Amino acid sequence: MSLAILLAVIGAALTLLPLALGMPAPRGDSARRAGLVVAVATGVVAATTWSGSGGVVVAAIAAVAALLLHTLGATSRDARLWLGLAAVAVVVVVIGMVTGRGDVAFVASLVALALRVGVAPLHAGVFAIAERQPALLIELFGSALGAVVLHLRLIDGASVLARDVAVPVVVIGAAATLLGALLALAKTTLRGLWAASVGMHAGMLLAAVGAAGRGHDVAAVLVVVTLALGMAGFGFVVAALEARVGRVTLTGPGGRVRAFPTLTAAFAFFAAAGVGLPGTAGFIADDLLLHALWEEGPVAAAIVVVASATLAISLLRGYGAVFLGPPGPRTVARDLDGRERLVVAALVLALVVIGVLPMIVVGPASALSD
Amino acid sequence: MHDPIVPAMLVSAFGPGLAALVIGLWAVLSPRRPTEQTVSRVVGVGLALSLLGAVAAAGLYIGGHPAGEIHVGDWVRIGDYAVPIVFLVDGVTVAFGVLSAVTSALAARFSRTYLHKEAGYLRFFVLLALFATGAQLISFAGAFDLLFAGWELVGVSSALLIGFFHERQEPVRSSLRAFATYRACDVAFFIAIVAIHELLGTTRLSVLSTSASLPEWERALVAGLLLVAAFGKSAQLPFSSWLPRAMEGPTPSSALFYGAVSVHAGLYLLLRVWPLLDTVPVVEVIAAIVGVATAIYGGLVARVKTDAKGALAHATLAQTGLILAEIALGFSTVALVHIVGHALLRLWQYLRAPNTLHDAHHRGHAHHDEAWWQRLLPAPWSTRVFAAAMQRLRLDERLDAVVAPLFAVARALERGDRRLRAAVSLDEVERTDRSPR
């Protein structure tokens, strides 16, 4: 039960996170967001606490609802297309469960997960959202938690298939991780860097989900929690900065640290947390993931380590290009306001608490897999 | 947990980190930034606790506390799988722990006045506190996971402090280069840790004493990976070029990181994993050769450098190279004494570096005779060696040439990815992007 509450709270909070950016919202957005919170919480609670196929079906229906609500908030046709495809895949999950075809539901869930978190080569949607509507991607991290727990539940109904495809899924995940990290190395905009970082973490998540097919479920839960908190924090900082100075390129030196010291510190923290800074959830998530991957193939584990190191270098390069250097042009924009600081502090605390005391997630997640 | 040495080690390791967290959250949550006095006091309390803890641990050990592992608990436990929190108590641990705590506290005290009214005062002290926690974790860790956590904290704080004077381009570039070297070598370390866990069943350092049971190639692989990690951290060839560039950071951090603690962390790691290295002669030979080569390289370049910190950096390389050779030849005690003596001497020399001109004025210019070995070299060779030393063997250029293809691949992938996404896009922006214009 505690895992359900924890994930539901994190999911709901991330769904509401874009509100702290203070951007003008279209009419009806409050109702959409309220529906999203309900769908996210319902999906997580049903997937984690309701045993039997009934819980899975309810969680899948909630996931479809969440994806449709995300689609309603999307401003680009690409976002609608890709989120719609993910919704269709989850509908197939529901049909598979209702008709007793666990294998079909498992495969459809894997595809839906890859579409919604942006695993290469199905990353076009997430990249488009990151580059055009960052607030929507932050929302999506909130509902991704439930999607992963739902997928872990589906493994029971397709245990043979899950075991058989574990290695190929891990290999695809590891390759997507490396691709994301290499793309990050060549990105020239801050949003692009964020999108590539998300792509890299999505690869890690797919690898973790693949390894979960052979019993490593806990790593997948911790990886998705880290992805959601770390990448949402990163995206929040990117959106907050661009709300002040417009589109940011990495051609630097940007020299923004004087004008935005707290934003700079927050960027550094979330970037570091995303690549496994000790004391944050990312460190322990990486550790668990690599041990899980090693058992499926040491090469995949090595690829993920190399990708993580490569992304770290890209992020430090981005940090230098955006914030360091001689002071940039004078700006009237202020550093993070009180509401934004509160959000940043809450995300920092969540990442640190889970990093220092990982058993608060690992314990209940182990119980779930038992 | 009833063992009194455990709270001493916990306080020593986590006191500075807690101070960093308090100051960091204060700065984020409060609209008014904490004053210099508040920052230095909070971090000072953390470092003082760290020093007290380290001295207490050393006192207990000298007073008869048995050497060995202390299992504090499990960071993570999932069935049979565990990431243990284990402290190690022995002469090497307490010596390195006290050394780290003393030098961190000294550097912090020096920085209070040295960095007065500096714009990044808060940033410096937060990073210094994180570094101190990392260094103590490295010192006291009895398991690789904990050691690696400290290792990473030291690396991140080190890279960010090299870029401390970020309004100039060179410190930022040097910071990135140092960080890239660290991360590249940390890849080897992380893979070695996972391999040790999977091959030997645990990440406790003590498990290495049973490593002789592994097949030879597995031992060689893990030992080689650990050696690469140590080379990166201690700036041994071919990874030496980041150390002189790291001098772009503030003098107190140069003194603490690259004179006293951080640069010796790789050597400390090798002392800890000696039971494994000792079973793989080829790795010992490689370590000895690299150590001697680094010592020669550092010694030669130090003689031609004309700036105080640059000369000190290369002199540091020369000594760390010798320490590496000592470890490789099995002289562990000599190496430990050498580490402690060298760290304290360099700390003092780096902290004195800004006063070099003042000192030279008072002492007068020393007359340097030609060294005996310089007279042995024929003149053309001497010129070549001089030129090579001046160019620092073009280490930077050679490493750049190694990583250049990676960037080319990344750019090609990015171009391909952009085209592919544009091809499947429904939005106007992407359509415009893919038009022939």
Assigned token pair, A46 = 């049903």
Minimal CA separation from A316 to chain B, in Å: 7
pLDDT in tens, B43-66: 999 999 999 999 999 999 999 999
* Helix, strand, or coil (residue A189): strand
Per-residue pLDDT, averaged over A213-223, amounts to: 89
Distances (CA, A) of B65 to B70, B333, B380: 11, 20, 60
Peptide bond preceding A121 in cis form (omega within 30 of 0): yes
Is the confidence at residue B437, as pLDDT, over 50? no
pLDDT bracket for residue B436 (50, 70, 90): very low
Residues paired with residue B77 on neighbouring β-strands, in sequence order: B82
B-chain CB neighbours of A82 within 8 Å are none
| Structure-model confidence comparison of residues B422 and B28, the more confident one | B422
Q: How far is A36 from chain B (nearest CA, A)?
A: 25
Band of pLDDT at residue B431, cut at 50, 70 and 90 = very low
CB B145 within 8 A of CB B75: yes
Q: Looking at the predicted structure, is the pLDDT value of residue B102 above 60?
A: yes
Residue type for position B131: F
B29 in contact with chain A, both atoms CB, cutoff 8 A: yes
Band of residue B38 on the pLDDT scale cut at 50, 70, 90: very high
Bridge partners, A357 (sequence order): none
Widest CA span of chain A, in angstroms?
A: 64
Is the Cβ of B158 closer than 8 Å to some Cβ of chain A? no
At A247-291, the pLDDT tens digits run 899 987 888 888 898 899 899 999 999 888 888 999 999 999 999
Least reliable range by pLDDT among A52-56, A135-139, B100-104, B227-231: A52-56
Kindly state whether B166 is in contact with chain A, defined as any CB-CB distance less than 8 angstroms. yes
- For residue B432, pLDDT over 50 is answered with no
Predicted ipTM > 0.85: yes
Which residues of chain A does B119 touch, with a Cβ-Cβ cutoff of 8 Å? 258
CA distance B426 to chain A (A): 6
Mean local confidence (pLDDT), A139-155: 90
Q: What residue spans define the domains of chain A? A: 1-163, 165-370
**Residue numbers of A between 324 and 363 with CB closer than 8 Å to B:** 324-327, 338, 341-342, 344-345, 348-349, 352, 358-359, 362
* Res B106 pLDDT > 90: yes
Chain B residues in contact with A84 by the CB 8 A cut-off are none
Packing angle, helices B308-328 and B262-272, rounded to 10: 0
Does B403 touch chain A if contact means CB atoms closer than 8 Å? no
* pTM, to two decimals: 0.90
Average pLDDT over residues A31-45: 91
Strands B81-89 and B68-78: antiparallel
Provide the token pair at B199.
């091959």
Question: Which residue's entry shows tokens 């565990």?
Answer: B82
Cross-chain CB nearest to B421 (options A124, A276, A358): A124
The answer to whether residue A45 neighbours chain B at the CB level (below 8 Å) is no
Q: Which residues of A touch B147 (CB under 8 A)?
A: none
Strand partners, B78: B81
Question: How confident is the prediction for chain B on average, in pLDDT?
Answer: 89
Which is more confident, B1 or B259? Answer: B259
